């Protein structure tokens, strides 16, 4: 038996893209020469939302995608739309101070509303459930941290309700959650169907889309020239919507650290298993670990478990996608958080890249010799809403409009990431230390439950 036996089959993109049955045809590859106002590299949520926003401004745009729209993190994530911005709220307030932290959370609120509006306006059928999320502790010693975080959330105008253990039980939240709060913003969606919906909306708005067209180089200057294996695109401005893939394009190497994140799903629960589990409200859960756990129902009645372990590759290489240790850790999470589901098989597992920045906050801005290369990314594992709103921010930047609170995330001066091999060494030391602390907490939680 292989090291991942019993953990279902590995999906080259993800469970969401496999089950994303669609009649949409793959768009043509870029062949020959084209000219547009703005070229957008990458058709994930950032690229698609940018295409929509720029079309609304009347600009001609072309999306150039290496694979198919949603093939990156946008079609691989856990689908939890949360009021999270990549770091703890304590750390956010400490770094930015109260007023600027409030601006950052105002952007987050705007991003979630924008996503909900986009789903509504474009009629996107992505099973979005506006349940909010549960921020969860698995050991009683996390109670004070959760209460403190809830106070800061209120101060930063993120509405939350602290829930006692009894209140959690009364809501049917699994017993492994011993303390927590309810975030009232966001919920859960089907990431693949959401990406396809945005793709359709961008096409309907008149954006050109080229799929299976990797951008090999961007010739800096004014105009910019993008080259793919069979074509070239001339444009006055370009948007890097490539998030974790951006350093491999030769841009933002000192600002973006790609890390691999994985997830798995069970087969759909039967009636008995559902009854055993409870959790009728189906609020998605993310835990208060250093490296969080995503726990949620899918719209077709499966349980999804994600994150828990993150990995960096060396240099330009991504960390291996089908990593047995990572999937064993995820399966352990499934069995310890939901002991009622000991007999439910895992059927699918997958991995995708997220982008971290040196301070774990998203980055937006412009670069290039003529300052005509725009970018948005670095959302960590919390990018569904931010990437969906990225288009609004980038369109405002391009048009020279007032950015409002989003200015706090724009043209930031960050300490550069160190070069290799230091980057790999530092990255891995930090990650393994945090994961060891999480493991210690989990052991203590297990002992507490047995008692």
Ligand X SMILES: Cc1cc2nc3c(=O)[nH]c(=O)nc-3n(C[C@H](O)[C@H](O)[C@H](O)COP(=O)(O)OP(=O)(O)OC[C@H]3O[C@@H](n4cnc5c(N)ncnc54)[C@H](O)[C@@H]3O)c2cc1C
Q: Does 383 bind ligand X (CB under 6 A)?
A: yes
Q: What is the DSSP string of 304-326?
A: EEEEEEEEE-STTPPPPSS-HHH
**Near ligand X by CB under 6 A, which window of 41-49, 231-239, 325-333, 397-405?**
41-49
Q: Which of residues 198-217 bind ligand X (CB under 6 A)?
A: 214-215
Q: Does 247 bind ligand X (CB under 6 A)?
A: no
The values of phi and psi at residue 65, to 5°, are -120, 130
Closer by beta carbon to ligand X, 141 or else 366: 366
Q: Does 312 bind ligand X (CB under 6 A)?
A: no
User: Rounded to whole angstroms, how far apart are CA atoms 110 and 331?
Assistant: 35
Cβ 430 to ligand X shortest distance, Å: 19
Residues 184, 159: contact at Cβ < 8 Å?
yes
Q: Does 63 bind ligand X (CB under 6 A)?
A: no
Closer by beta carbon to ligand X, 245 or else 273: 245
User: Rounded to whole angstroms, how far apart are CA atoms 180 and 157?
Assistant: 18
**Near ligand X by CB under 6 A, which window of 17-25, 256-264, 297-305, 397-405?**
256-264
DSSP-H helix ranges across 13-63: 15-18, 45-56
Q: Which residue has the tokens 């939901």?
A: 338
User: Rounded to whole angstroms, how far apart are CA atoms 103 and 117?
Assistant: 21
Cβ 386 to ligand X shortest distance, Å: 7
Q: 382, 394, 395, 438: which one contacts ligand X (CB under 6 A)?
A: 382
Cβ 226 to ligand X shortest distance, Å: 9
Residue nearest to ligand X (CB): 383
Q: What is the DSSP string of 345-367?
A: PEEEEEEEEEEE-TTSS-EEEEE
Nearest to 158 by CA among 188, 182, 189, 131: 182
Q: Which of residues 359-378 bind ligand X (CB under 6 A)?
A: 377
Helix (H/G/I), strand (E/B), else coil: 84: coil
Q: Does 20 bind ligand X (CB under 6 A)?
A: no
Q: Does 384 bind ligand X (CB under 6 A)?
A: yes
Cβ 179 to ligand X shortest distance, Å: 21
Number of residues that bind ligand X (CB under 6 A): 43
Nearest to 414 by CA among 353, 364, 354: 364
Nearest to 256 by CA among 79, 86, 76: 86
Q: 4, 16, 36, 42: which one contacts ligand X (CB under 6 A)?
A: 42
Q: 8, 30, 47, 187: which one contacts ligand X (CB under 6 A)?
A: 47
Closer by beta carbon to ligand X, 383 or else 427: 383
| CB environment 235-272: b (16+ within 10 A), e (fewer) | bbbbbbbbbbbbbbbebbbebbbbbbbbbbbbbebeee
Q: Does 263 bind ligand X (CB under 6 A)?
A: yes
Q: Does 65 bind ligand X (CB under 6 A)?
A: yes
| DSSP letter assigned to residue 136 | E
Cβ 123 to ligand X shortest distance, Å: 21
Q: Which of residues 268-297 bind ligand X (CB under 6 A)?
A: 294
Q: 4, 20, 80, 129: which one contacts ligand X (CB under 6 A)?
A: 80
User: Rounded to whole angstroms, how far apart are CA atoms 410 and 405?
Assistant: 10
User: Rounded to whole angstroms, how far apart are CA atoms 188 and 193?
Assistant: 12
According to DSSP, the β-strands at 224-227 and 231-240 are antiparallel
Q: Does 79 bind ligand X (CB under 6 A)?
A: yes
Length of the chain: 451
Q: 27, 30, 61, 64: which one contacts ligand X (CB under 6 A)?
A: 64
Q: Does 43 bind ligand X (CB under 6 A)?
A: yes
Contact characters 127-166, ligand X, x per CB under 6 A: ----------------------------------------
**Near ligand X by CB under 6 A, which window of 120-128, 173-181, 259-267, 429-437?**
259-267
Q: 46, 50, 129, 266: which one contacts ligand X (CB under 6 A)?
A: 46
Cβ 450 to ligand X shortest distance, Å: 30
**Near ligand X by CB under 6 A, which window of 163-171, 310-318, 331-339, 349-357?**
349-357
Residues 152, 235: contact at Cβ < 8 Å?
no
User: Rounded to whole angstroms, how far apart are CA atoms 367 and 201?
Assistant: 28
The values of phi and psi at residue 385, to 5°, are -75, -45
Q: How many CB atoms lie within 10 A of CB 55?
A: 20
Interface positions with ligand X (CB under 6 A): 41-47, 64-67, 71-74, 76-80, 214-215, 241-245, 249, 261-263, 294, 306, 352-354, 377, 379, 381-384, 387
């Amino acid at each position: 038996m292989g090291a991942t036996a019993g953990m279902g089959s590995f999906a080259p993109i993800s469970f969401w893209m496999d089950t994303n049955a669609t009649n949409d045809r793959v768009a043509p590859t870029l062949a020959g020469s084209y000219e547009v106002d703005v070229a957008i590299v990458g058709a994930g949520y950032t690229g698609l939302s940018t295409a929509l926003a720029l079309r609304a401004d009347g600009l001609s745009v072309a999306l150039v995608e290496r694979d198919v729209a949603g093939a990156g993190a946008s079609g691989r994530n856990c689908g939890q739309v949360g009021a999270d911005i990549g770091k703890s709220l304590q750390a956010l307030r400490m770094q930015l101070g109260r007023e600027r932290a409030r601006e950052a959370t105002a952007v987050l609120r705007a991003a979630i509303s924008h996503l909900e509006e986009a789903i509504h306006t474009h009629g996107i059928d992505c099973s979005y459930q506006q349940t909010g999320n549960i921020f969860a502790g698995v050991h009683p010693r996390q109670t004070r941290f959760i209460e403190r975080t809830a106070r800061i959330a209120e101060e930063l105008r993120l509405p939350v309700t602290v829930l006692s253990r009894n209140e959690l039980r009364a809501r049917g939240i699994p017993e492994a959650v011993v303390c927590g709060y309810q975030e009232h913003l966001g919920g859960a969606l089907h990431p693949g169907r959401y990406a396809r919906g945005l793709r359709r909306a961008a096409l309907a708005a008149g954006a050109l889309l080229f799929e299976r067209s990797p951008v090999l180089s961007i010739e800096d200057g004014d105009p910019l020239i993008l080259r793919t294996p069979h074509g070239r695109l001339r444009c006055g401005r370009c948007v890097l919507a490539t998030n974790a893939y951006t350093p491999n394009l030769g841009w933002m190497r000192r600002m973006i650290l790609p890390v691999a994140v994985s997830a798995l799903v069970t087969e759909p629960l039967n009636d008995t298993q559902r009854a055993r589990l409870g959790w009728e409200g189906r609020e998605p859960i993310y835990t208060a670990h250093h490296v969080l756990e995503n726990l949620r129902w899918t719209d077709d009645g499966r349980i999804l478990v994600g994150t828990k372990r993150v990995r960096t590759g060396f240099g330009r290489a991504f960390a291996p996608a089908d990593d047995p240790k990572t999937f064993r850790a995820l399966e352990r999470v499934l069995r310890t958080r939901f002991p009622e589901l000991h007999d439910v098989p895992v059927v699918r597992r997958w991995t995708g890249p997220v982008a971290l920045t040196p301070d774990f906050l998203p980055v937006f801005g412009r670069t290039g010799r003529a300052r005509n290369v725009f970018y948005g990314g670095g959302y960590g594992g919390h990018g569904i809403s931010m990437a969906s709103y990225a288009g609004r921010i980038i369109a405002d930047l391009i048009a020279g409009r007032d950015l409002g609170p989003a200015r706090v995330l724009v043209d930031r001066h960050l300490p550069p990431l160190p070069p290799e091999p230091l980057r790999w060494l530092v990255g891995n030391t930090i990650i393994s230390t945090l994961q060891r602390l999480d493991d210690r907490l989990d052991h203590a939680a297990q002992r507490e439950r047995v008692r």
